[in-house]
Amino acid sequence: MTTCFATDSATRASILASATRFSRRYSCSGGCPCTAFYASSSSALLCRFLFVMPIIRTVQRVSKRLYRQLSASRPDTEVERIRNVLAEVPVFETCAARTLRVMAEAMHPRTYRPGEVIYYEHDPGLGLYVVEKGQVRLCADWKDERFDMRMAGPHTLFGALSLMGDFRRMETAEAVTAVKVAGFFRPDLSSLSQRHPKAALDIQQALLRFMAQQYAALIDVIGDRDGREVALQCYADASSQVLDHAASDDS
């Protein structure tokens, strides 16, 4: 006897009729006894198929949801940790909480052992690093000697200039202790500009404000050491050099 799992009588009748037509089309001709067998078997299989498919789809949806939750648990913890670090970086103190969250999602955690070099002076620069743990020495070579520029500790960043343009590294970054950093590079900023334009603009404004402050501080440092006139002349020479390069690129 044919077993059908469709509860609606009209639906069951429609299914059985479709199965019978199918079996007649592909069965033997001339009233072969196998016709009834195929009709019975096909209708039963079709009913079972229609009954089981919703269950399979439900199981698939639940499995996918569970997989997303399990796979996202660790990255979410990591993203939240990086976001908390960014919130402590003075450069990003004016950024919105959502900006920091979006930026943290795009960053790349890295670890370095003591003595490992993160990048070398004159290397092509791709972006900045934020120190989460440890100490990073920033140093440069001058007249066959290496001198220390500064130390970058937790909640500080370095290499920001390379995020804003295709600039080579001005210093070597070397891990002094075991270091954990998070990198943010130009392709990340470009992608963010398309997916989250407000957050990308927020990041760029914070970095430009930081660089402008550095620029003004540099003039003050040179002025205190060599005189205001020398500092302003250095500023004028640097501006002229940038304008000359821009003009040569356009020609």
Tokens 């997303």 identify what position?
68
Tokens 């250095």 identify what position?
234
pLDDT at 37: 47
Among candidate residues 102, 127, 123, 125, the one with its CA nearest the CA of residue 182: 127
Query: Taking a C-beta distance cutoff of 8 angstroms, is the pair 179, 129 a contact?
Result: no
pLDDT at 57: 76
Tokens 């990041």 identify what position?
203
- Over residues 52-69, the pLDDT tens digits come to 677 777 777 777 666 555
- Over residues 89-107, the pLDDT tens digits come to 999 999 999 999 999 999 9
* Res 218 pLDDT > 80: yes
Q: Is the domain 88-250 a CATH 1.10.10.10 member?
A: no
Q: How confident is the model at residue 178 (pLDDT cuts 50, 70, 90)?
A: very high
Q: Which residues contact 84 (CB under 8 A, 6 or more apart)?
A: none
Domains of the chain, residue spans: 9-64, 88-250
Q: What is the pTM of this model?
A: 0.67
